[in-house]
Chain A
Amino acid sequence: MADPKDRPSILISLERGVSEDAWEWVSYGAEEEGVPCRLEEDATGSDTVEQAYNASTLSRFGIGIGIGSSEIVLHEAHMPKGTPVLRRSLRDGNALEVCRMFGHNAARMVTQRPLLLQPVGSNDVAVGDGGNKNTRAQQKKHEPETQVPEIPEIKKEVTTVTQETVKEGDRFDTEDVAPDEIKRAVSAVIRNLRERGVL
């Protein structure tokens, strides 16, 4: 087997001092999509965008992620250095979900599948379950049609579907506390059971 450094991977640049959890969650996202990724210590930069860009240029896939203390950035080697593919704040309380979403998206850049614009793993929205979200987006798209002066019916012909910006991040802030707590509670139970020799 070749040197792991030579294997095509998504490269991740982690700013010094940022929790390892962040990069681990990115790797979960990439793993679920079935694309290899690893940390690259040589990719550094003065800010997170530059980190991500440098990681992408070192990656054989040309895909890099930069994780800073306040934001996460997805970059692609062909993009202009200052124009990352996606960037999101990590201060909205669901940082780990956002990291995992970036892992999914980095992998999707490799597998050529549409990117996720919302974090994965809320109770009611599953990833593949795009149908629901999309219908809502579609409805949104067509709303503006009605507000045309004079001859409303004329619209039907000339409308082109314009993709409205999906508002990111405003749905999950309140919901994602619960799973973590449940996880902690369950781990505690398991630990207890182990200690008592039941498991």
Chain B
Amino acid sequence: VAQIVAGIDVGNSTTEVALAETGKSPDDVRFLSTSRVPTTGIKGTLSNLPGILYALKDAADAAGIKMDQLNLALLNEATPVIGDIAMETITETIITESTMIGHNPNSPGGLGIGVGHTIHIRDLVSAKRGEPVIVVIPYEYDFDLSASMIGQAIENGVDVQGGIVQSDDGNLITNRLPKPLPFVDEVSQIDHVPMNMLAAVEVADRGQVIRQLSNPYGLATLFSLTPEETSMVIPISKALIGLRSAVVIRTPEGDVKTRRIPAGTLKLIGKSQSISVELDGGADAIMEGRAEIGELVDVEGEPGTNVGGMVERVRGTMAEVTGKGVKEVKIRDILAVDCLVPQHVSGGLAQEFSMENAVGLAAMVSTDRLLMQQLARALTDEIHVPVELGGVEADNAVVGTLTTPGIATPLAILDLGAGSTDAALLNKDHSVKSMHLAGAGDMVTMLIQRELGIGGQGAFDVAEQIKKYPLAKVESLFHIRNEDNTVQFFPDPLDPKLFGTVALVTETGLVPIDTNHNLDRIREVRREAKRRVFLRNSIRALEDVAPLGNIRNIDFVAIVGGSGMDFELSEMLVKKLAEFGTVVGTANIRGELGPINAVATGLLLNYAKRTGTVRKDVE
């Protein structure tokens, strides 16, 4: 007798359903419809129910059947892992006295470098002849007035060397002076600039960057610093590298230092040994330790340090999700990634940033089967249809992937999800070996968000969008230049708000990104994040499942899951894995669905195989 069965796959980010009619024989499977909706809640918890119902209804509607015509629902035994991520900076720049304005206004005025004592513009009249000064111009003094006052002072013999301006008037002032002088403008916190202190102002030409103030010896020359003092100003120079204009003010008590935050040690506990790794050593040291230890039993962070806090936070989240005690949550894998993140310099005047070292950590913990059984029971109550757990996720995924045309065993599948990277290998003898690693899509999103310094509420969503969509620069009201340099024209004028911005090219149109970064920088950060997480983990996962640990022993690799739809990932993976002589590509489930619905499809196929065989035996 034919029956209608639903295969349900609850993933970290999406819930997928396949509906099929199964008959007597294992091959008698007629697929009716599929659906895909975002997962509600964290996978493997009761909060998934709304998403599952939504997906089931979608699929039933698409197949033209009622929910009560369903005979059975099969739930995947979800990959028993969930991941979490955390990031901490390990260096920090602190300026104990306000001593620096490193600033990239859009249009600083003038050109060159000026050194003198800071003086408020209203005190210019009382400045001594021949005295080198840097004029401080608050907002109340407009450019006409400022320029005439400075011009007057110059005529009176005051040696005006440059200026610091609160409003965006740098060019307007310098254009009205008898000689061009460097003016740094748009300094919002101008009232924090100390008066009568030795200061240096530097403005570089368009397309250039400052050289003197970003060079420790340059600063030493301008301020006559001793070697000891020179070593103290390194953080200032570091923070000013790559800017078009800057001001450095020397205050007597001024003190700048890079503080290395005690990042702590990470203890990796293996089956037979444990290794302690200094977080200071960066991601590579951690990953070397991780490789050395083999199978990981748990991870501990040194209490009272950054890493201790990070590990505990992950453990806390996981405990909350799984309903286990904090002590019972065991971290089974970690992925560490180095990055440079822009951090506010404490003590700066114009919201200066300094690029600080940070380590991002993704962790994965095991959940248990009990939770899935709870979910299956709850689902039965809800839809009044028997729900079964349909076997291990990896087995189903591999079977589903085998429906891709042109594929054969030994086949490895790579599922780069949101929380974890999963790989499974199907051998010729149909045994399946699977592997779950920490770090995937969410980690990439976090890296993008932190490295680009996207702040505010919804920052993670913005980063998520950057991960998903290619970029374009809006060059006119009628055309954009895509990141691959192709130009696209529009018949109707674009919104003026888009003009000049870097925007994401989405299905629903152009979405501008609120950032001062240019297109190339955003693209580089995005691709680098994918490389460091997706590529590194793919290799790690494939080496784990490959016969004899050699990727060359795998003939076919197929990318499944949502990551298979990423617009650049499969191309990056293909390039990387080409060196192993393996066929790599994005799966095309049932020859039509692309990389999605592998598990749901596999659930149905495996079920048909099981029941069909049984019935045949009975007959």
B497 interface residue per 8 A CB criterion: yes
B167 touches A121 (CB 8 A): yes
Whether the Cβ atoms of A150 and B50 lie closer than 8 Å is: yes
Nearest B residue to A28 via CB reads: B172
Per the 8 Å Cβ criterion, residues 453-500 of B in contact with A are 455-459, 461-462, 465, 473, 475-478, 493, 495-500
User: B511 and A78: CB pair below 8 A?
Assistant: no
Set A80, A109, A139: member contacting B457, Cβ < 8 A: A139
In the complex, the answer to whether A135 meets B455 with C-beta atoms within 8 Å is yes
Nearest chain-A residue to B36 (Cβ)?
A157
Q: List the B side residues contacting A155 at CB < 8 Å.
A: 38
B499 touches A109 (CB 8 A): yes
Task: List, in ascending order, chain A residues with CB within 8 A of B39's CB.
Answer: 153
Residue pair B140, A186 in contact (C-beta under 8 Å): yes
Q: Is A1 part of the contact surface with B, judged by Cβ < 8 Å?
A: no
Contact of A161 with B511 at beta-carbon distance under 8 Å, contacts A135-B455, A154-B38 already known:
yes
In the complex, what residues of A have CB within 8 A of residue B496's CB? Answer: 85-86, 115
A63 CA / B420 CA spacing, docked (Å):
52
Q: Give min CB distance, A71 to chain B, whole Å.
A: 16
**Within the assembled complex, what's the spacing in Å between the Cα atoms of A139 and B514?**
11
Contact between A138 and B462 (Cβ–Cβ < 8 Å)? yes
Nearest CB on B from A90, distance (A): 19
For the complex, is A40 an interface residue (Cβ under 8 Å from B)?
A: no
In the complex, what distance in Å separates the CA atom of A112 from the CA atom of B189?
Answer: 28
- Please indicate which of the listed interface residues A31, A32, A123, A130 has the most CB atoms of chain B within 10 Å of its own CB: A32
Question: Is there contact, CB below 8 Å, between B149 and A190?
Answer: yes
Q: Which chain B positions have C-beta within 8 A of A31? A: 171-172, 175
CB distance from B168 to the nearest CB of A (A): 4
A78 to B491: give the CA distance in the assembly, Å: 11
Q: Smallest distance from the beta carbon of A131 to chain B beta carbons, Å?
A: 7
Tell whether A2 is near chain B: CB-to-CB under 8 Å: no
Q: Which residues of chain B have C-beta atoms less than 8 A from A39's C-beta?
A: none
Q: Are B168 and A128 neighbours in the complex by a CB distance under 8 Å?
A: yes
B493 near A83 with CB under 8 A, answer yes
Interface range on chain A: under 10, 10 to 19, 20 to 34, or 35 or more? 35 or more
For residue B208, give the distance in angstroms from its CB to the closest CB of chain A: 15
State which of B101-109, B324-332, B426-434 sits at the interface with chain A.
Answer: B101-109
Tell whether A134 is near chain B: CB-to-CB under 8 Å.
Answer: yes
B residues in contact with A19, CB < 8 Å: none
In whole angstroms, how far apart are the Cα atoms of A121 and B185 in the complex?
A: 11
Bound: A129/B51 CA distance, A: 42
A158 to B143, CA, bound (A): 48
**B104 x A128 contact (CB < 8 A):** yes
Kindly report which residue of chain B lies nearest to residue A130, judged by CB atoms.
B516
Question: Which residues in window 113-150 of A have CB below 8 A to B?
Answer: 113-115, 117, 120-121, 123-124, 126-131, 134-139, 141-142, 145, 150
- Contact check, B186 vs A161: say whether CB atoms are below 8 A apart: no
Known: A138-B457, A186-B145. A153 touches B40 (CB 8 A): yes
Q: For B122, list chain A residues within 8 Å (CB).
A: 186
Set A79, A139, A183: member contacting B458, Cβ < 8 A: A139
Out of A85, A130, A157, which one reaches B514, CB within 8 Å?
A130
Q: Is B403 an interface residue (CB 8 A)?
A: no
Please encode chain B, from 147 to 191, with 1 for each CB lying within 8 Å of some chain A CB and 0 for all others: 011001000000000000011111110010000000001111000
Docked-complex contact A114 and B499, CB < 8 angstroms: yes
Q: Please, which residues of chain B bring their CB within 8 A of the CB of A154?
A: 37-38, 40, 50-51, 54
Indicate whether A159 reaches chain B with its CB closer than 8 angstroms: yes
Inter-subunit contact B500/A76 (CB<8 Å): no
Q: Report the interface size for chain B: residues with CB under 8 A from the other chain.
A: 68
Q: Is A174 in the interface zone, CB < 8 Å from B?
A: no
B456 and A138: CB pair below 8 A? yes
- Which chain A residue has the least Cβ–Cβ distance from B503? A163
The answer to whether A153 and B168 touch across the interface, beta carbons within 8 angstroms, is no
Set of chain A residues within 8 Å of B457, measured between Cβ atoms? 138-139, 142
Minimum Cβ distance to chain A for residue B308 (Å): 30
Determine which of B106, B149, B172, B473 lies in contact with A127 in the assembled complex, contact meaning CB atoms within 8 Å: B106
CA distance A182 to B37 in the complex (A): 60
A89 to B186, CA, bound (A): 26
Least CB distance from A195 to B in Å reads 14
Contacts of A115 in B (CB 8 A): 496-497, 499-500
A193 nearest in chain B by CB position: B125
Contact A163 B497 (CB under 8 A): yes
Q: In the docked arrangement, what's the CA distance between A115 and B512, Å?
A: 12
A residues in contact with B152, CB < 8 Å: 199
Does B41 count as interface, using CB distance less than 8 angstroms? Answer: yes
State in angstroms the CA–CA spacing of A86 and B496 once bound together.
Answer: 7
B105 nearest in chain A by CB position: A128
Q: How distant is the Cα of A84 from the Cα of B145 in the complex, in angstroms? A: 34
Contact across chains for B477 and A76 when beta carbons are under 8 A apart: yes
Q: How far is the CB of B20 from chain A (nearest CB, A)?
A: 25
Q: Which of B8-38 contact A (CB under 8 A)?
A: 13-14, 37-38
A198 to B461, CA, bound (A): 61
Asked whether A186 lies within 8 Å of B141 as measured between CB atoms, the reply is: yes
From the candidates A117, A129, A153, name the one contacting B38 in the complex (CB within 8 A).
A153
A129 touches B511 (CB 8 A): no
Tell me if A162 is interfacial: C-beta within 8 Å of chain B: yes
CB distance from A123 to the nearest CB of B (A): 5
In the complex, chain B residues whose CB is within 8 Å of the CB of A135 = 455-456, 514
A78 to B96, CA, bound (A): 54
**Does B570 count as interface, using CB distance less than 8 angstroms?**
no
Q: Are B186 and A121 interface neighbours, CB within 8 A?
A: no
The answer, yes or no, to whether A46 is at the interface (CB within 8 Å) is no
CB pair A156 B461 closer than 8 Å: yes
Closest chain A residue to B498 by CB distance?
A: A163
User: In the bound complex, do residue A137 and residue B514 qualify as a contact, i.e. CB atoms below 8 Å apart?
Assistant: yes
Which residues in window 57-111 of B have CB below 8 A to A?
103-107
Q: Is residue B343 within 8 Å, beta carbon to beta carbon, of the partner chain?
A: no
Expressed in whole angstroms, the Cα–Cα distance for A109 and B139 within the complex equals 26
B456 and A160 form a contact (CB under 8 A): no
B354 touches A (CB below 8 Å): no
Residue of A nearest to B13 (CB): A157
Closest Cβ of chain B to A102, distance in Å, is 12
Using Cβ atoms and an 8 Å threshold, which residues of chain A touch B149?
Answer: 190
Closest 6 CB pairs of A and B: A142-B458, A157-B38, A135-B456, A134-B514, A126-B186, A114-B500
Besides A129-B351, A163-B511, A183-B140, 20 new A-B residue pairs in contact (Cβ under 8 A), listed by A number:
A33-B107, A85-B499, A86-B496, A108-B499, A114-B499, A124-B188, A128-B103, A128-B105, A128-B168, A131-B351, A134-B514, A138-B458, A151-B54, A153-B38, A160-B506, A160-B508, A163-B495, A163-B512, A183-B145, A199-B152
13 pairs from A and B in contact (CB 8 Å cutoff):
A79-B477, A129-B351, A136-B456, A138-B459, A138-B462, A142-B457, A142-B458, A153-B39, A154-B40, A157-B38, A161-B458, A183-B142, A190-B148
